[in-house]
Structure 1
Amino acid sequence: MTKGTLLPGRQINLDFHTSPYIENIGVDFDAEAFADQLVRAHVDSITLFARDHHGYLFYPSKRFPNLLHPHLVRPNLLIEQIDACHARGIRTPIYTTIGWDGRAALEHPEWLARDPHGEPISGQPNEPKPNFYDSLCLNSGYRAFVLAHLNDFIDTLGPERIDGLFLDIFFLVPCDCERCRVQMERHGFDHTDIRQRERYNAQLADEFRREVRTLIDRRVPGASLFFNGSHIGPANRSSLATFTHLEIESLPGGVWGYDNFPIVMRYVRNLGKPVVGMTGKFHTYWGDFHSLKAAPALEYECFQMISLGAGCSIGDQLHPSGKLSEAAYDLIGSVYGQVEALEDVTRGSESMTDIAVMTPEREWTMDSTLSDALIGANRMLTELGCQFDIIDSDMDFGRYRLIVLPDEIKATPDLLAKLEAFVADGGTLLGTYHSLDLGDDTVHPLYGHRMLGESYWDRDFIMPNEAICRTLPREEFVMYERGARVMPVEAETLMDSVEPWFNREGHFFCSHQHAPSTGRMGFPAVTRHGGVVYCSHPLFTIYRDFAPAWVKAMVNDILDLLVPDRLVRKVGERTISGLELQLRRAPGGGALLLHCLWYPVKKQASRLFTIDERVALHNQRVRVRIGDVSIRGVMAVRAGIAVPATDWYVEDGWLDVTIPVIDGYEIIRMDLA
C-alpha cells in the first residue's frame, strides 16, 4: 500500500473506546476474517485504533507497555489488523485521541484544563459522570506525552505500516490554568475574557498541529494527516496547511442533524483539499452498540456525499470481542457496492455553481452552532434547485454571478469594498435584514437606502405584486419575525410591507397570536439598487423556523430578477421541493452530470429525524443551462438506460429533460457533442 494513493471513497472509521472493566478484549478477533469481511463490504480504507478515550493502547507499545488495555488478549491487535488489510489493498489510517484521555485525567490531574474556579473543563458538560470528557491542556506535561505516544507507535508499528493519522478531539477549550495564564499574558490575551481564552487556545492548537505535521513529515513522509474537531469552517484556515485532507464528521442521528453536512461541505470544498464525508452505521450516534441505521438512510447520506463531491466514510464501533457485526457490514456493503459502481463516473468531477451564500461564521467556540440564517438559506436554495457554494469573505467572489448575504453578515470596510467591486464588475447581491448594516442612517453604498433601525412590529405582513410573489393571491402574508425599517434614497421599492393593528403587548392583544392587517402600507419589504436587492425581513431565519411557502416564493422571484438564467431549474407541475439536484462537470469536461437525490426525511421520533424508506419519483422535469454547446445524448447512469430523445430537447441554451425515474438516487449524464 503506497501512501500516495488517492484518498478513499469507501472508508470505515472504526471506533474502539473500550472500558477497562470489560474483559477478554479481542478474544474472537481473526485477522483474515476481519479483512475479508471488509473486502466483501467494498471497503477501501479503515481507520484503526492505537489509543482510545479511556486512555488505553491496542498495540505492543515499546515506550508505554503499562498503558496496554489491561484485558487485551491480543497485544498485536492493531498490527494484525493493519497487516491483514494491507495484504488486501485496504488503507489503514491510525486513530489516536488528543483532547480526551480518561486514564491520563485520573492519573495526572495537573494536566487537566481548568476554568477560572479551578474546576476541570468538560467537553461534554451535560453528560453524567463517570466519563472521559474532561479536557486536557496542551500547555501541560500532557503535550510531551502525546508527542512521545506518536513517536512510540511509529517506532512500534514501523513507518511502513502507517498510511495516515486521524487525531481526534481538537475542540477550543478556554483553559485558565496557571500555565495558560502565563502564556496568555505573554501573548497579550486577557485571561479573564472567555472569548480571548478561546482565541489563545486556537493559537495553541495551531502551534501543536504544526509541530505534529513536522514530526509526521519527518518520520512518515507521505502519510495523510487529519485533525478532527467535529466541525470545519473559517477558523480552520489558519492551520489548513497542516491538513493533508479534510473529513467532515456529521452523523445525522447525533448533534449534527441533516442540515450540517451539506452546509459544511459547500464551504469546505472551496478550501483546496480533498474531502471525505463521515456518517455512521448507528441509528443515533457513536457508541450506539447493536443498532443499525435503516438502509435508505445510509444510502441517502453516502449518495449526498458523492453528489456534493466528497468521498464516503461510515463510522462503526468494534465490539470488545474484536469481531465485526455481520449485519452491519452487510448493510455497509449494500451501500458501498453501489458507491463503488459509480466511481468511474463520479471521481474527479467538479462542482458547477453560479450562486454563493456568505457564512456569518468567523470563529468556532465551545458554544457555537450553525447559524439559523445559514440553515434556512441552505434549505431554501436546495429546494429551489440552486447550484451554490458557501463562502467566507476571503474567498474568490469572481466565480459567482450572485452572492447571498443571509440576515446577519457583518459589514467591514474590506468586505464592503470587495462587494462594491464585485457589483461594479457585473455581479449581483441579495442582502436580508441586518446584513451589511453600517450602524447608522447614512445612505448605504450598496443598498441605496437609509437603515432606520428595527421595525416597530413584532410581526407585520407583505403584499404580493407582479414582481415579487407574483404567483400568490394579492392579499397580505404574515412575516413571523421582526424586520428592519429602511427608507429608499437611491433604491426603488419592489414590495411593501403592511402594518398590523398593534403588537401583542401591554393590554393590547387579538385572538391567539398576532393582530391582523390594517391594510396600511409600511416600510419597504424589498428594495432594488441596480444589481443589489435588499429584503428588510430575516427571510432565511424565518424559513428555518417556519418554512412559509410565501417566503420561498419571494426569494425565487428575486433570484429570477438577479440571475434569470441560473444553472438548474425544477420545472413542470410535479416539482418536489425535497428533490436535491447537484450539477457537476465530468472529468475531462466531455459531459455534465446531474445528481438527483430524493429520500423523504421524517420526524417520527422526538429526538432525531429519520429516513426509513426510498420513494421513487417519476417524470421529473429539469432544465439545465448548457449555453452554446450541443448535446449528443442523455443517459440515466444508475438505471443504465438512455433517456429517450422524446424526453429531452435543447432550446435557447437550455437542456430540458424529463427524468423517467429517480429511485432514491440517479445521475443524469449529458454527453456534450
Structure 2
Amino acid sequence: MTQPNWYRDTTCKIHFDMHTPEHIHDVGRDFDPQAFARAVKATGAEAVCFFARCAYGWAYYPTAVGLPHPRLTRDLFGEGVHAMKAEGLRVIAYCAIDNAPSDLAAEHPEWPKRTPEGEPVPGHGTATSACAFGPFPHELLIPQFQEIAERYPVDGFFLDGVYQYFYRICHCENCRRGFGRDIPQANDDPNWRAYRHWQVQNVWETMDTAARAVEETRPGCLMGVNWLASVRWSVPPPPAIGYVTGDPPMQNCTFETALNLAAWAWRDVPADIMTQRMLHSWQDFTCRTPETIQTEFATGLASGAKLFVGDLLQPLTVQPDPDVMALMQVCFEFAQERVDVAAVGRRCADIAILSSPETTRGQGATWTVDDTPLRGAYHSIVTAGLTVDILFDDDLAEHLSRYRTLIVPEQRFISRTAGNAIAQFVRSGGGLVVIGALPKCVDPNEPDGAADSVAFETLTGLRRADRLSHELGYLQLRGTPAKHLWRDCDRFRPAIPVLGTPAAVEPDGATVLVNLTAPGETYQIGAKPPGEILEAPAITTFPCGDGTVMYCALPLASDVWKRGNPGARYVLEGMVREVTPDTTVERIGPSAVQVYAAANDDETVIQLVTYQPDGRTNMPHVIESPCEMTGVQIRVRDARAPRSVVVEPATTAETWTRQGDLTTIVVPPFTIHTAVRIRWC
C-alpha cells in the first residue's frame, strides 16, 4: 500500500545550501550535529533539506556509488540526519544531479555531455557536465539515491539542476541514437520542437523511475525536483513525483510565488516555492526583511501551498547563523497563525490561463516557454481582483471544465488535444479570450507546416489575412462598441498604443467592436502617434455554441508585462469580464490586494494578501513597512446564504449583505494577510 504523502501536512521547511569545491579543506570539521538540530528545531521548522550531493558532484557521506568530497572529515550527512530525526524533524536529502566528478567521468566516457567535436562539456569547477539521456542517471544517480535511502532514515529527496540537462546541447552517441535524427544546431532547424519534446519525455521518465526506486527502497520517501513541471516546460509532473517545488529569482519573489503556484497548487500533488533569506542570490549573505518573507509566506499559504525557505551554511562549521534562525522563527510563527485556515478546502478559480509547450516553436535553441504573455495576462487578472490558475496543454481535457473562462495569451501554437478540449469547453458554455496570434494546433513531432490553422478560425469567427507590417498598433475605444473595456471610473478614453506586430484577421461571422489604428508619420525624434484607422479588426466577439469568444489582434499581455501598459490591462480585463459575467469570487478595492479562494462542501475561505514594496531601490523589491490595508470588499456568489462569516487569524465575526445569490463582505483593516471564512447554511 502506498504511504500517505507527509508533505501535505508539513508546512515549514528550511533548506541549507553548501556547494563546496575540492580545494576547501576540513569540510565538516567543527560540525555539532546535535546543536545544529536543536537550532533548527527552535525555529519551528518541521523539515530540513540537507546536503547529500553537491553541484560539484561530491557526496557528503562515505558513498560506495559516487565519490565523497576529498576533504570531508566525517559522515556529515549521516550525522546530521540522525541528529535531526532525534529532534523529531523530517529530513530531505539534497542531491544535485547535473555534474559528475572529473575522475568518475574519465572512468565512464559514456556519462559526459559532449560538444559537436566529441569533447566533454565542462561543469562546475573541475567537474564534468553529465548527459541525462544516456546511462549516467541509471548507473550513478539512481543507485546513489537508493544507497542514501537504504542507509539513512530520510523522508524525501530534493533534486536540483534538472534544467542544466537542457542547456548546452549534447552531441554524444547516446543522444544521436536516442533522438533518431540529426541533432539540431542552427536556430532555423525544423527539428527543434521534436528534439525538445524528446528531451522532456526522457527526463520526465527518468525522474519518475528515480522516484519509484526511492519509494521501493524506503516506503513513504518522496521525491521532488527543482522546477520540474514548471511553466518553463509547461508539462505536468510525472505520476510518481511526491511534490513540486522551485526556487525563483529574487527580484520580485512575491509575484514569482503567486505565478508559479498558479500552475501547481491546484494539482493533487503538494507544492511549494523555496524563497530565500538572502536578498539577491544564493551567493549573497545580505539578509532580507521579515516583512518581505512573511508576504511571500502569506502568498504561498493563500495559494494552497506549503513553505520552504533557503539559507547558507559554511563548510567548516556547518552551523546555522543564530540571527538568521531568529528571523526564520519570526516568519514561521507568522505562518503557523494561518496554517489552519489555509488548509480549508481546495483551491478554486474562475479563470484559467493556458501556457503551451508548443510556443517554443520558432525560438531556435531556446528551450523555455516564453512566459512574457503569461505574466502579463496573470498580472492583469489578479490586479482586477479575480481568481486565476495556469494550465498546460495536457491539463485541459481533464481539468478545463472546472473554470468559467480560458485565456489563450499570444500562443502561436498549441497541441491538437488542447485545441479539441478548448472547442468542447466553449461550445458547452465556457468563455474564451484569445490574445494576439490565432493559435495553430499541432502535435509535438509534427513540423510547423502540418499544423491545423482552421480550428481557431472556426472558434473565433475569423480567418487569417495578409500579414501586417506595423510594429505598433493603437486601440481607439471612444465612440465604439468597445468603449466599455476601459475602466468605468475614468471620464476619458485615450488611445492605447500596444507594442508588437498585430495579427492580421478578417471577420467570418465575428462582430468587430473596434478596428486597428495604424501608427502615423514619425516625428518627435521617433514618436509615432495614432494614424489611419484600418479595415482590420482589433477586437471582436463571437458566439460559439453556448459560449462566447473574444479576440484581440494586438499583443496586450506582453505589453502589460514589458511596459506596464495600463490601457492594455484594462482591455484584457474587460474582455475577460465580458465573457465571464458572473464571477464566483471577486475582490473590490485596492489593486495591491490579491484574492485567493478555496472551498469544500460546507465552507469557502477567501484569503487576501497585500503587496507593498517600499519602492526606494531598484531590484530586488523589499518590503519594510507595509501599511494597514482598508477599503477592501469581497463578493462571493453562491446559492446558499452564509451561516457565519469569520475573519482569521483575528477570529472576529463579520456582518454581510446579500442580494440574490451574491454575498458582499466588508473586510476589516489588515496588514499583509487576512482570511474570510464563510460557513454556508
- What TM-score, normalized by structure 2, do the two folds share? 0.86
Tell me what 1:540 maps to.
557
In structure 2, the residue matched to 1:208 is 206
1:183-582 equivalences in 2 (<5 Å): 183-184=177-178, 188-192=180-184, 195=192, 197-229=195-227, 232-233=230-231, 235=233, 237=235, 240-253=238-251, 259-288=255-284, 290-320=285-315, 321-362=317-358, 367-394=367-394, 395=396, 396-410=399-413, 413-436=416-439, 444-465=457-478, 466-469=483-486, 471=488, 472=490, 473-502=492-521, 509-518=522-531, 520=533, 522-530=535-543, 531-571=548-588, 575-582=589-596
Q: Which amino acid aligns with 1:495?
A: V
Alpha-carbon distance in 1 for matches of 2:565, 2:234: 35
Aligned residues: CA RMSD:
3.0
The unaligned stretches of length 5 or more in structure 2 are 186-190, 441-450
Asked whether the equivalents of residues 248 and 261 of structure 1 are also in contact (C-alpha less than 8 Å), the reply is: no
* Match in the other structure for 1:82: 81
Q: Distance in 2 between matches of 1:477 and 1:618?
A: 31
The aligned counterpart of 1:152 is 147
Amino acid at match of 1:5: W
Quick check: 1:404–1:430 contact (8 Å CA) kept in 2? Answer: yes
Offset at residue 381 of structure 1 (A): 0.7
Give the AA of the match of 2:537.
P
**Residues 170-202 of structure 1 deviation map (CA, whole Å, 9 limit, x = unaligned):** 233465444325532xx6233345735544443
2:605 maps to which residue?
Answer: 593
Q: 1:319 to 1:652 in 2, by over 3 A?
A: same
Matched residues in 2 for 1:461 and 1:423: separation? 29
In 2, the alpha carbon distance for the partners of 1:284 and 1:133 equals 27
Aligned-partner Cα distance in 2 for 1:95–1:241: 21
8 Å CA contact 1:137–1:143 kept in 2: the answer is no
| Contact 2:36 2:320 (C-alpha < 8 Å) held by counterparts | yes
> Structure 1 residues 360 and 133, CA, compared in 2 at 3 Å: closer, same or farther?
farther
The one-letter code of the counterpart of 1:424 is: R
**Deviation, structure 1 residue 322:** 1.4
Q: C-alpha separation between the residues in 2 aligned to 1:369 and 1:443?
A: 21
Structure 1: which 5+ residue stretches go unaligned? 124-128, 503-508
Matched to 1:660, the amino acid is P
- 1:351 CA displacement: 1.1
Q: Which residue is equivalent to 1:97?
A: 96
Aligned to 1:166: 158
Say which SS state the counterpart of residue 662 (structure 1) adopts: coil
Indicate if the aligned counterparts of 1:95 and 1:166 stay in contact, CA closer than 8 A.
yes
Displacement, 1:492? 1.2
Percent of residue pairs identical: 18
Counterpart residue type for residue 552 of structure 1: R
State the distance in 1 between where 2:264 and 2:459 align: 28
Q: Deviations over 1:33-62 (max 9, x none)?
A: 212212221100111122212333222335
Q: CA 1:422 to 1:61, structure 2 compared with 1: closer, same or farther past 3 Å?
A: closer
- Go from structure 1 to structure 2 and tell me whether the alpha carbon gap of 1:86 and 1:162 turns closer, same or farther (over 3 Å shift): same
* Aligned-partner Cα distance in 2 for 1:512–1:538: 25
Residues 12-23 of structure 1 mapped to structure 2, 5 A cutoff: 12-23=14-25
| CA shift for structure 1 position 424 | 1.7
Q: Quick one: distance in 2 between partners of 1:105 and 1:366?
A: 30
Structure 1: distance between partners of 2:150 and 2:587: 57
CA shift in 2, pair 1:3/1:181, >3 Å = closer
Tell whether the 8 Å contact from 1:26 to 1:323 is kept in structure 2 after alignment: no
Residue 105 of structure 1 and its aligned partner are, at CA, apart by 6.8
- The one-character-per-residue Cα deviations of 1:553-585 (angstroms, maximum 9, x if unpaired) are 2123222321122123343xxx32221111122
For the residues of structure 1 that align with 2:583 and 2:658, how far apart are their CA atoms? 16
Aligned equivalent of 1:631: 642
Q: Which residue of 2 aligns with 1:657?
A: 665
Find out whether 1:612 has 2:614 as its counterpart: no
- 2:96 and 2:531 mapped to 1: Cα distance? 61
- 8 A contact 2:249–2:281 mirrored in 1: yes
Over residues 147-171 of structure 1, what are the superposed CA-to-partner deviations in whole Å (9 max), with x where a residue is unaligned? 44334334543xxx12122222223
Q: How far did 1:663 drift?
A: 0.5
Rate the CA distance shift 1:19–1:604 in 2: closer, same or farther, 3 A.
farther
CA contact (8 A) 1:169 1:230 kept: no
Structure-1 separation of matches of 2:31 and 2:229: 33
Instruction: Please give the alpha-carbon distance, in whole angstroms, between the structure 2 residues aligned to 1:592 and 1:343.
Output: 15
- The one-letter amino acid paired with 1:312 is L
Matched residue SS, 2:22: coil
8 Å contact 1:62–1:156 — kept in the other structure? Answer: no
| Offset of residue 520 of structure 1 | 4.0
Structure 1 residue 456: deviation in Å?
A: 4.2
Q: How far is 1:402 from its partner?
A: 0.8
- Offset at 1:452? 1.2
The one-letter code of the counterpart of 1:591 is: E
More moved, 45-54 vs 371-380: 45-54
Kept in 1, the 8 Å contact 2:359–2:369? The answer is no
Q: Structure 1 residues 328 and 35 mapped into 2: Cα distance closer, same or farther (>3 Å)?
A: same
